[in-house]
Structure 1
Amino acid sequence: MSKLARRYWASLTDTNVESVELLIEYGRQRNATLWRRYVASLLDMPVTCGAATGTKQTAGPTPAPTSTIFYDMETVVDIGTTPPNRGSWWRGAGLAFVTLLALTVAFGVSRVLPPAPGVATPATSVDAAYHTVKDPVGYVISIPRGWAREETQGKLQPVVTYTAPGGQRRLMVFEVMESSVTESSALAQSVAEGAKGYHYLDRRTGADWTEFSYRYESKQYGATKSIDHRFQAADGTPYAIIASGPPGTDMTDQLTQAVNSLCPTGAHCP
């Protein structure tokens, strides 16, 4: 072994070794670091033609090739081959250097590169304050939990009223019979104008819906604010949902949940 090679291995192991035998002996000590023991095991495993080989001298015929690996950072390979020539040691040293370099680069890259992003799973948001019910009248709708249901017969269609505990907030749902939601809403406004204390507040209109809001004096509930929303359901059926409560009460969320969730029985709703 040349002096240059000895100095190279001494720099790797941080010790003054004068021969490969001393390096192997030092590396096999149990108190040596793992990577020094790994280098020692590589030097004790000569390489020929890219394959690790060693020689075990036995009396008699050459034994059949065997391979034994011990997982305590010491590797023994006995495959019954002929002794390697002098150049095989250099190939083994080169293999050891390439292995150490690959491990160093891989470790450095794993420290620098960010972890691969995970596959995002679409989130499903379920508001605990609401639940979906299948109403016997013929639709599915989302209403606040704890609200009571009452059904009455209107002039042309059943009217279902969902009432909050205490009776101050209500959602009234029914199918309208007019040819369009615009016509139905205009008739509803003309009727509401005859209510005691009627006061018009606002009107909004969309592609297939329209709503108007107003205040009036209810015989049963006193001062009341109502939002009358009329729209076409997924199957084209026109419906009305009227949200009512005391003035100053925000019924927007309850109305929006009901309108967006109403789906007539048998219809395909998104």
Structure 2
Amino acid sequence: MRGFETERQEWAGSRRERLFDTEQYLDLRRQRAVLTRTAIALAVGGVCFGVWALGWKDEPEPYRPPARQAPAGPQASAGDGAPGEETAPDAGEGTSGLPADFEVHDDQEGFRTALPAGWRRESQSSQYGIDVVDFRSADGTHRLQVFQLMEDSPYASVADAARAGRELDGYQEIHLEYVADPSGGEAAEHEYTAAELTGEAATGSGYHVVDRRFEATDGERYALIAYGPTADGTEDERELLDTARAWFCPPGAECPSPDGATP
């Protein structure tokens, strides 16, 4: 049954209708409050949606690691081979020209390098790549060795060699680290001294060794190792190694000469 409500100035339904449609029979003040709350809720929802939509639109792209510019530089302490800081190239590395008494050598294995004039050549077969080639001074006290690496990483290769080197009598590590290389590829170096070396005559003062392993311009990896007695200091082995690397060109490749002359 419906009746006329004087407060709301409208016809009202029965009590049963009010139970099932309560919002319709709210007084005017409460009805306005409901509408206000509804409007506020819709406005807040709209703002949240807008913020979400803008955030989705401007969401950054998935993280991509930066392009590799140089080998991650390990500064390995003795015995661990852990990465650390990259070292700057040696002052004499990649310099143009040749030191006095050096000459360019085009080897029968196909590579080019530079070494002191008059050194004799020896070689032996290798399990991988080119033969192992040794160049020796006339008195037999200094040696430059060249061979191709089987390993994919120059650092891993030289770190393995360093672990074996620590078994030498009187072994003293100078450094084991990544170094900059003329090719721009990965290169690592192990420098050390030892009281004696397997297969080498005793010098009375021990040996100084610089072992450089690197990725050349052909994408293959090679080693250049300079040996000499500690009695005459360490500069001669460093000069020997740096000059040999500056002029090294792998088999089948064409490389510019460090002095700018035609290869």
What TM-score comes out, normalization by structure 2 length? 0.52
Question: Which residue, out of 243, 248, 251, partners 1:262?
Answer: 248
Q: How many residues align?
A: 147
- Distance apart, 1:201 and its partner CA: 1.6
Counterpart check, 1:215 vs 2:189 = no
* Superposed CA offset, 1:20-75 (max 9, x none): xxxxxxxxxxxxxxxxxxxxxxxxxxxxxxxxxxxxxxxxxxxxxxxxxxxxxxxx
Q: How does 1:92-111 map to 2 (within 5 A)?
A: none
Aligned-CA RMSD value: 1.9
- Residue 143 of structure 1 deviates from its aligned partner by 1.2
Q: Secondary structure at 1:264's aligned position in 2?
A: coil
Q: Secondary structure of the equivalent of 2:133?
A: strand
What are structure 2's unaligned runs of at least 5 residues?
1-95, 181-185, 257-263
4+ aligned runs moved over 2 Å, structure 1: 124-128, 153-157, 218-222
Q: CA deviation at 1:126?
A: 5.0
Structure 1: where are the runs of 5+ without partners?
Answer: 1-123
Identity %: 33
Change (3 A) 1:125 1:138: closer
**Are the aligned partners of 2:178 and 2:189 in contact in 1 as well (CA < 8 Å)?**
yes
8 Å Cα contact 1:234/1:268 also seen in 2: no
TM superposition score normalised by structure 1? 0.51
In structure 2, distance between residues paired with 1:195 and 1:126: 33
- The secondary structure found in structure 1 opposite 2:105 is strand
Match of 1:148 in 2: 120
Letter in 2 for 1:132: V
Q: C-alpha separation between the residues in 2 aligned to 1:175 and 1:150?
A: 16
- Which has the higher relative contact order, 1 or 2, with Cα contacts under 8 A spaced 6 or more apart? 2
Aligned to 1:162: 135
Aligned mates of 1:152, 1:164 — CA distance in 2:
18
1:244 maps to amino acid? Y
Judge conservation of contact 1:130–1:143 (CA < 8 Å) in 2. yes
CA distance in 2, matches of 1:126, 1:186: 30
Mapped partners of 1:153, 1:197: distance in 2: 30
Query: How far off is 1:245 after superposition?
Result: 0.5
CA displacement, residues 181-240 of structure 1 (integer Å, 9 cap, x when unaligned): 111111111111122222212123235211011122125322111111011112121110
CA drift of 1:141 comes to 1.1
